[in-house]
Chain A
Amino acid sequence: MIGSLLSNAGVWMPLAWLFVLVVTWAIVYYIRSRGEARYHKDTEQVRPFLAGHPETSKAAMHVRASNEYWGFMEALKGYYHPLIKGHTGNLNDYICWFTCILAIVLVLVISVGV
Chain B
Amino acid sequence: MLWNIPYIAVVALIVLGLYACMFKSNLVKIIIGTSLLEAGANLFLITLGYRKGGIAPIFTNAPSTESMVLPVPQALVLTSIVIGLAVTALLLSIVVMIYRHYGTIDAKKVRRLRG
Contact = CB atoms under 8 A, between A and B. Distances in A.
A and B touch in the complex (CB under 8 A): yes
B22 A87 contact: no
A87 B115 contact: yes
A89 B21 contact: no
Contacts of A96: 22
Task: Summarize A's interface: helix, strand, loop or mixed.
Answer: helix
Nearest to B107: A91
A84 B115 CA distance: 5
Contacts of A84: 115
B51 interface: no
A99 interface: yes
B5 to A, nearest CB: 24
Interface residues of A, number: 10
A88 B111 contact: yes
B22 A95 contact: yes
A92 B113 CA distance: 14
Contacts of B30: 91-92
A90 interface: yes
A99 B22 contact: yes
B91 to A, nearest CB: 11
Interface of B: 18, 21-25, 27, 30, 107-108, 111-115
The 3 closest A-B pairs by CB, nearest first: A89-B114, A89-B111, A95-B21
